[in-house]
């Protein structure tokens, strides 16, 4: 459901009806539905049952519409003040129609609709509600010509998917669509930042320029770092921090990362420590960034002895995925991202593996429709796991399937091996280890091999255990020996598994075959 919210006089009902007709979907108005159901006017319900009575009825009606109907829903101006309504909105696209108190007052005085709360001190009521509108909003639209607003909303909302990452304290949306970068102002607008610092690579100038154009209402600055894993270093981070100070970035400003996992890890890291933490919004431009790196709040840089050895947890304010930008991604980078998509299929959602098999050609051609599907399905898995375990004490560890092997493969090849290739080989190694323990059968190992190979990923490689051991000793999961994530069956990950050296040796032999 697309939900319109905002203050009285913001135009929710008018815009909602026109938007629904532009999108060819049904339109619902919560106040109208309540009045019809109760057989009386909203004003009457207020005077008979008071605001509290009305809000109870409203919460039940909104919940029912969200659960059972689909289309566009205009909410009453105060609906989001009820916690049950806010909770029910999770997972839906919520548009905050912003209007100032003076315009609202002028519109209300012209309107024949009865406003149960009157039009007393609108300015303070609006101020009181503003944080709640912002909290639930996926995107925000400033007041203007109704036809313009409808046109802009229809363009961005067609095929837009939204997943909410329910981390404690401050849930945030991940939106997935085609062409979303051009509408970034609507997503960033919810945050009300003054200045936006865009961090990107010179080679992604086309996208950082689009982002800055979309954010023209804010003062934007651009900082570019060289491409590649070497930018994830304390030196580069220090350079960025100095530049942020030179540009007088403040607590209320916003860092916007535009790039793959290197940029979101690095940008997220500096945002988390500058001024003891400022807000960050990620615009991931690689498949790996969209399905994995930009979501979940892990930030970090590398040390010479290992990857991600320095880092923080710093959840973004929002993640805006535009599958259109994947078009320019080099083939090997796209394939690298598919490794993580396959991981989600193996550890959590077998339907992803079916989608990959049945839509193979459309996926390889990066058709926007199917790209939206695979990114959304993957984001749902990651969001669900992150919500269950923000700080990686338990369930989140399953996301490391294939990664303990993979990181060691990257380290011993001095990062000449792409992350996705290393993860692919790591998942094969983990499958062999699970098979060695008798937890899975050969057919499930074959499913690993087939799916990874069909995606264009490597499934065989030679490594020596003596080379890998020093890398494993530095692994964050090292505790009385290196700990692996294995599978007890499809979608049944088991984290924290210690493996004997002999077994590891046999796994490496199988991997080389
Ligand atoms: N924080 C996390 O939870 C998490 C999870 C997984 C991976 N990571 C990290 O992510 C990094 C890998 O990320 P990655 O695979 O996105 O690599 P990357 O960021 O290095 O991007 C790969 C290359 O693609 C280019 N590129 C990016 N978008 C493009 C586009 N749309 N068109 C053309 N070229 C484009 C980049 O300039 C770069 O050269 C690793 O450092 C890894 O540790 C972090």
Mean pLDDT is lowest, of 113-117, 283-287, 394-398, for 113-117
Q: How far, in Å, CA of 432 to CA of 442, rounded?
A: 9
Q: How far, in Å, CA of 386 to CA of 324, rounded?
A: 26
Mean pLDDT is lowest, of 99-113, 393-407, 428-442, for 99-113
Is residue 253 within 8 A of residue 194, CB to CB? The reply is yes
Average pLDDT, the chain: 93
Burial profile 420-447: b = 16 or more Cβ within 10 angstroms, e = fewer? bbbbbbbbbbbbbbbbbeebbeeebbeb
Q: 132, 158, 184: which is the final residue of a domain? A: 158
- Read off the pLDDT of each residue in 167-183 and give the average, rounded to a whole number: 92
Question: Is 392 noted as a catalytic residue in this protein?
Answer: yes
pLDDT in tens, 207-264: 999 999 999 988 999 999 999 989 999 999 999 999 999 999 999 999 999 999 999 9
H-helix or E-strand containing 496? strand 493-498
CATH of residue 224: 3.40.50.1970
The pLDDT > 90 percentage for the chain reads 84
Residue 380 domain-assigned (yes or no): no
Q: Whose CA is nearest to atom 7 of ligand 1?
A: 293
pLDDT in tens, 264-281: 999 999 999 999 999 999
Q: How far, in Å, CA of 418 to CA of 416, rounded?
A: 6
Confirm or reject: Cβ of 315 under 6 Å from ligand 1: no
Helical packing angle, 42-68 and 30-38, nearest 10°:
110
Domain count, the chain: 3
124 with 100, same domain? yes
Asked if the model's pLDDT at residue 309 lies above 70, the reply is yes
Look at 395 and 341; give whichever has higher pLDDT.
341
Question: Is 276 noted as a catalytic residue in this protein?
Answer: yes
Confirm or reject: Cβ of 301 under 6 Å from ligand 1: no
Q: 136, 158, 180: which is the final residue of a domain? A: 158
Q: What is the pLDDT of residue 190?
A: 79
Q: What is the pLDDT of residue 319?
A: 97
194 with 292, same domain? yes
Question: Is 396 noted as a catalytic residue in this protein?
Answer: yes
Pocket test for ligand 1, best of 200, 201, 286, 421 (most atoms within 8 A of CB): 286
- Ligand 1 midpoint to CA 115 (Å): 51
Residue 362 domain-assigned (yes or no): no
Q: Which domain holds residue 233?
A: 162-329
Tokens 């699970």 belong to which residue? 434
- Ligand 1 midpoint to CA 307 (Å): 14
Catalytic residue among 18, 98, 340, 373: 340
- Ligand 1 midpoint to CA 306 (Å): 17
Confirm or reject: Cβ of 289 under 6 Å from ligand 1: yes
Q: What is the pLDDT of residue 441?
A: 97
With CA atoms as reference, report the closest residue to 130 among 166, 155, 96.
96
Question: Is 212 noted as a catalytic residue in this protein?
Answer: no
Residue 354 domain-assigned (yes or no): no
Residue 346 domain-assigned (yes or no): no
154 with 230, same domain? no
Kindly tell me the burial class for residue 119, based on how many C-beta atoms sit within 10 Å of its own C-beta (0-12, 13-18, 19 or more).
middle
H-helix or E-strand containing 148? helix 146-157
Residue 349 domain-assigned (yes or no): no
Catalytic residue among 183, 382, 418, 448: 382
- Read off the pLDDT of each residue in 66-88 and give the average, rounded to a whole number: 95
6 with 119, same domain? yes
CATH of residue 147: 3.40.50.300
Residue 385 domain-assigned (yes or no): no
Look at 238 and 475; give whichever has higher pLDDT.
238
Look at 394 and 463; give whichever has higher pLDDT.
463
Mean pLDDT is lowest, of 237-241, 342-346, 347-351, 418-422, for 418-422
- Ligand 1 midpoint to CA 365 (Å): 20
With CA atoms as reference, report the closest residue to 471 among 346, 319, 306.
306
452 with 490, same domain? yes
Q: What is the pLDDT of residue 51?
A: 93
CB-based contacts of 377: which residues, under 8 Å, 6+ apart?
344, 349, 351, 352, 355
Cα 221 to Cα 197, 264, 266, 318, 435: the distances in Å are 5, 17, 17, 19, 52
Q: What is the pLDDT of residue 108?
A: 82
Q: How far, in Å, CA of 104 to CA of 125, rounded?
A: 12
Q: What is the pLDDT of residue 259?
A: 98
153 with 205, same domain? no
Mean pLDDT is lowest, of 233-247, 346-360, 471-485, for 471-485
| pLDDT band, residue 476 (cuts 50/70/90) | low
Question: Is 360 noted as a catalytic residue in this protein?
Answer: no
Q: What is the pLDDT of residue 115?
A: 60
Kindly tell me the burial class for residue 486, based on how many C-beta atoms sit within 10 Å of its own C-beta (0-12, 13-18, 19 or more).
buried
154 with 166, same domain? no
147 with 168, same domain? no
How far, in whole angstroms, is CA 58 from its chain's centroid?
Answer: 30
- The SS3 of residue 306 is strand
Q: How far, in Å, CA of 347 to CA of 451, rounded?
A: 14
Q: What is the pLDDT of residue 30?
A: 96
Is residue 399 within 8 A of residue 388, CB to CB? The reply is no
CATH of residue 489: 1.20.1090.10
141 with 215, same domain? no
Q: What is the pLDDT of residue 464?
A: 97
Q: Whose CA is nearest to atom 32 of ligand 1?
A: 329
Residue 413 domain-assigned (yes or no): yes
Q: What share of the chain is helix, strand, coil (3-state, %, to 5)?
A: 55, 15, 30
Catalytic residue among 276, 414, 462, 513: 276
Pocket test for ligand 1, best of 260, 389, 476 (most atoms within 8 A of CB): 260
Burial profile 30-55: b = 16 or more Cβ within 10 angstroms, e = fewer? bbebbbeebeeebeebbeeeeeeebb
229 with 201, same domain? yes
153 with 273, same domain? no
Strand order in the sheet with 93-98: 27-29, 72-74, 2-6, 93-98, 139-142
Question: Where are the alpha helices (H) located in 457-500, listed in sequence order?
Answer: 465-473
With CA atoms as reference, report the closest residue to 294 among 176, 433, 201.
176
- The SS3 of residue 97 is strand
CB-based contacts of 137: which residues, under 8 Å, 6+ apart?
5, 94, 95, 96, 190
Question: Is 419 noted as a catalytic residue in this protein?
Answer: yes
pLDDT in tens, 417-470: 988 899 999 999 999 999 999 999 999 999 999 999 999 999 999 999 999 999
Q: Is the dihedral of CA 164, 366, 185, 99 positive or negative?
A: negative
411 with 435, same domain? yes
Question: Is 298 noted as a catalytic residue in this protein?
Answer: yes
The pTM is what? 0.91
Q: 282, 308, 329: which is the final residue of a domain? A: 329
Question: Which one-letter DSSP state was computed for residue 217?
Answer: T
- The SS3 of residue 219 is strand
Neighbours of 206 (CB within 10 A): 11
Length of the chain: 513
Strands (E), 7-159: 27-29, 72-74, 93-98, 139-142
Q: What is the pLDDT of residue 120?
A: 63
pLDDT in tens, 120-130: 688 999 999 99
Cα-flanking dihedrals φ and ψ of residue 267, to 5°?
-65, -40
Q: What is the pLDDT of residue 356?
A: 97
The pLDDT > 70 percentage for the chain reads 96
Q: What is the pLDDT of residue 50?
A: 93
Residue 343 domain-assigned (yes or no): no
- Ligand 1 midpoint to CA 338 (Å): 13
Q: How far, in Å, CA of 452 to CA of 198, rounded?
A: 35
Asked if the model's pLDDT at residue 411 lies above 70, the reply is yes
Q: Is the dihedral of CA 71, 76, 82, 83 positive or negative?
A: positive
């Amino acid at each position: 459901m697309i939900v319109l919210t905002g203050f009285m006089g913001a135009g929710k009902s008018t815009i909602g009806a026109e938007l629904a007709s532009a999108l060819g979907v049904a339109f619902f108005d919560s106040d109208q539905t309540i009045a019809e159901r109760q057989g009386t006017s909203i004003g009457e319900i207020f005077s008979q049952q008071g605001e509290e009575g009305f809000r109870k009825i409203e919460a039940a009606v909104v919940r029912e519409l969200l659960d059972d109907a689909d289309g566009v829903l205009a909410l009453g101006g105060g609906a989001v003040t009820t916690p049950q309504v806010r909770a029910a909105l999770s997972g839906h696209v919520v548009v905050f129609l912003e209007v100032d108190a003076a315009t609202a007052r002028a519109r209300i005085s012209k309107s024949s609709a009865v406003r149960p709360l009157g039009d007393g001190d609108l300015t303070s009521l609006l101020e009181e509600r503003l944080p709640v509108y912002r909290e639930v909003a996926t995107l925000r639209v400033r007041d203007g010509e109704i036809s313009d607003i409808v046109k802009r909303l229809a363009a961005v909302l067609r095929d837009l998917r939204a997943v909410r990452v329910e981390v404690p304290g401050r849930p945030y949306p991940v939106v997935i669509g085609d062409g979303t970068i051009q509408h970034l102002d609507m997503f960033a607008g919810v945050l009300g930042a003054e200045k936006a610092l865009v961090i990107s690579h010179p080679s992604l100038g086309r996208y950082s320029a689009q982002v800055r154009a979309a954010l023209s209402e804010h003062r934007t600055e651009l900082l570019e770092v060289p491409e590649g894993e070497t930018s994830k270093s304390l030196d580069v981070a220090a350079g960025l921090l100095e530049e942020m100070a030179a540009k007088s970035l403040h607590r209320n400003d916003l860092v916007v990362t535009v790039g793959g996992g290197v940029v979101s890890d690095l940008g997220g890291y500096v945002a988390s420590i500058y001024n003891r933490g400022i807000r960050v919004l990620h615009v991931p431009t690689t498949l790996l960034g969209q399905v994995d790196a930009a979501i979940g709040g892990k930030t970090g840089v590398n040390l010479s002895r290992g990857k991600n050895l320095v880092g923080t947890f710093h959840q973004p304010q929002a993640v805006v995925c535009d599958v259109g930008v994947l078009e320019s991604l080099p083939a090997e980078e796209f394939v690298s991202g598919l490794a993580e998509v396959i991981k989600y299929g193996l550890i959590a959602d077998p339907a992803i593996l079916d989608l990959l098999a049945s839509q193979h050609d459309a996926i390889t051609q990066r058709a926007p429709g199917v790209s939206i599907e695979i990114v959304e399905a993957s984001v749902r898995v990651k969001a669900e796991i992150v919500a269950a375990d923000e700080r990686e004490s338990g369930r989140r560890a399953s996301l490391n399937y294939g990664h303990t092997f993979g990181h060691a493969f990257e380290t011993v090849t001095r990062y000449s091996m792409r992350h996705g290739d290393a993860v692919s080989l790591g998942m094969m190694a983990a499958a062999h280890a699970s098979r060695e323990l008798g937890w899975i059968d050969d057919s499930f190992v074959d499913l690993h091999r087939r799916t990874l190979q069909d995606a264009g990923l490597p499934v065989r490689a030679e490594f020596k255990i003596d080379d890998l051991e020093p890398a494993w000793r530095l692994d964050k999961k090292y505790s009385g020996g290196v700990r692996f994530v294995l599978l007890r069956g499809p979608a049944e990950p088991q984290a924290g598994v210690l493996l004997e050296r002999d077994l590891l040796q046999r796994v490496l032999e199988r991997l080389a075959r």
